[in-house]
Chains A and B, each alone.
Chain A
Amino acid sequence: MALSVDEAVSTGPAGDHTPPSRRFGGRGRAVLEVALLTVLAVVMLFPVLWMIETSIKENRDVYAIPAKFFDFKVTMEHFKDVFVASGGGRSTLSASFLNSVLVAGVSTALATVLGVPAAWAYSRFAVKAKKDQLFFILSTRFMPPVVVVIPIFLMYRQVGLIDTKLGLILIYTAFNVPFTIWMMKGFVDEVPAEYEDAAMLDGYTRLQAFRRFTLPLLLPGIAATAVFALIFSWNEFVFAIFLTSSDDVRTAPPAIAGLIGGTTVDWGLVAAASVVFALPVLVFAYLVRKHLVAGVTLGAVRR
């Protein structure tokens, strides 16, 4: 979110490039745009700011009325509580974070390993009823996931996947594979098939040609796709809360949600856990921001 605001604000100065005759109108418009975007940014970013503030306030200040914006005592206790249990040793929240890392990481890796070769095959070969197959693959993403949560719950109960990390990994992979195939097919289409043809004439098998020549050119696309898949798996809440219950299986989103609802709510802890939870995705998105844009504007790239 912070990213889009940055980009939008930068259109402000661009208004100065309008021809002199329309300059006043142009500048007026630019000022208006910046003002509107600033308002929007404040509205959107205030909860984030409040979350960060709460995570470093002492409990006394958290509940203070009127609310304290600036003159509070900074403490790192809440962050410590996220990772360390009150009696010493690891907290249950930290276990949830580890589960999240494991589930999101493995499901993303699986989706990539399965999806990239499939995308390559769909891009390169004349497959029977290719369009229908691709449509079918895409159609699994048409409905909101919550629609299938009950059937999945029942199926998982039958096969004993309820309340297991494997169960979550499988369902996240199932959701990420279609996405990976579609997004990667666009990237593979961009890489001329002639590289593989040439390599095959030079003595490589088709798979070797793919691995040695096409795959390296696909790496940026794979990175972008994997980050999208990772963000999906990392943020996923509905399946996680329905399909898992025990503390050593739970991922972070339901675990954080579980902090709310007791007789007293430790808002400092909730905020600190949320900050820790949001950071990895922000860092990842920042690292691959160029590729994310490339992924969104797919097809607009010249060959």
Chain B
Amino acid sequence: MAGIEVSALHKRYPDGTVAVDHVDLSIRDGELFVMLGPSGCGKTTTLRAIAGLERQTTGNIRIGDTLVDDLPPADRDIAMVFQFYALYPHLRTRDNLAFPLRAEGLPKAEVRKRVDEAAGLMRLGPLLDRRPHRLSGGEQQRVALARALVRRPRAFLMDEPLTNLDAELRADMRTEIKHLQGELGTTMVYVTHDQVEAMSLGHRIAILNKGRVEQIGTPLEVYDRPASLFCAAFIGSPPMNLIEVEVADGKLRSQGGLALTPPPGLPRDRRLVAGVRPEALEVTEPGAERSVPARVVSAEWLGDEIIYVVDHDGQRDVRVRMPPTVRFTADAPVGLRHTGGPPPVYDVSTEELVA
């Protein structure tokens, strides 16, 4: 087991595309570290560089104490799980599992012992004599995980392993992976574009955009205080409302007069945007205390909650999360007020968190 250090990673392809601009990561030993970002943000390239499947243009990668820049993938002592599982189609499950061990040249008895162990852990007993095409997607992915396990590698690399599964199975496998990682305590780097997966799995999350790291933090840190406007718009469903605000008399107000709890240390003389979570707002009867007049544009009835989309002076499409008991019809005049603590505030020009 080992931590992984990525420093000043830069990857430029021969055709000129810059996949990774500048990435520094310090992944701790035993950590489940998630790289999250939209497609093309460089997360998969970073992972493949760690695996040794891509050679970075500049920058260093260390696994444990070893500088692995010039090592081929096989010598890095890592295992990878792919989006398309990559089970060898002509081999039965048993042989798929044994394959990396035989490639290493382990004695037969040891191979059998480890295969049985991994098969037991992933409950693959009845599937051992089948070939991949006779396995369902979920079963194939369990075999792929088991194949990563048998190696007892220093780290697991997961490249969107659940993307091809249906929603229900994805939730099950998520739990399974998290449990497994906790049991084994092996470092795991997990790449996904699905924020729910990232939030529920990760000890820490790195949010990547355009080949750069926007933020690294625990799921709660990332949710509560997104480090940039990009993160603010990316995390959360629905995402944060980005409301233009002004500082006046020590108060934070939107153009429409909505009063927000001001965080300390607000800079003046800059254009600011506050990131307000839908659950930090409240739709009220019109004219309620501290509320500003607004109008309901639409309501999404989700059963356990209602997402109201409201317009208020100078600010369109503000999303508000309300319990299902509070009901307003579309077009109804309502009040809108802020109930949460101080929101993160961003500078419009630098797009960075300022308070």
Contact = CB atoms under 8 A, between A and B. Distances in A.
Interface string A190-224: 00101101111111110000000100110000000
Interface stretch (B71-79, B120-128, B195-203, B345-353): B71-79
Contacts of A203: 74, 100, 103-104
Nearest to A201: B73
B82 A197 contact: yes
B13, B51, B86, most chain A CB atoms within 10 A: B86
A130 interface: yes
A131 to B, nearest CB: 9
A132 to B, nearest CB: 10
B89 interface: yes
A265 interface: no
Contacts of A192: 82, 84, 86
Contacts of A73: none
Contacts of A201: 51-53, 73-74, 78-80, 100
A201 B85 CA distance: 13
B74 A194 contact: no
A130 B14 CA distance: 10
Contacts of B79: 201
B325 interface: no
Given A192-B86, A194-B85, A202 B74 contact: yes
A192, A202, A217, most chain B CB atoms within 10 A: A202
Interface residues of B, number: 26
Contacts, number: 60
A195 B15 CA distance: 24
A200 B88 contact: no
Interface residues of A, number: 20
Interface in A10-34: none
Contacts of B53: 197, 200-201
A128 B15 contact: yes
Contact of B86 (A198, A205, A216): A198
B100 A129 contact: no
B17, B72, B90, most chain A CB atoms within 10 A: B72
Interface of A: 126-130, 192, 194-195, 197-205, 213, 216-217
23 contacts: A126-B15, A126-B17, A127-B15, A128-B14, A128-B15, A192-B82, A194-B83, A195-B88, A197-B53, A198-B80, A198-B86, A198-B88, A199-B88, A200-B53, A200-B72, A201-B74, A201-B79, A202-B99, A202-B100, A202-B103, A203-B100, A204-B74, A216-B90
Q: Which 3 A-B pairs have the closest CB atoms?
A: A194-B86, A203-B74, A198-B86
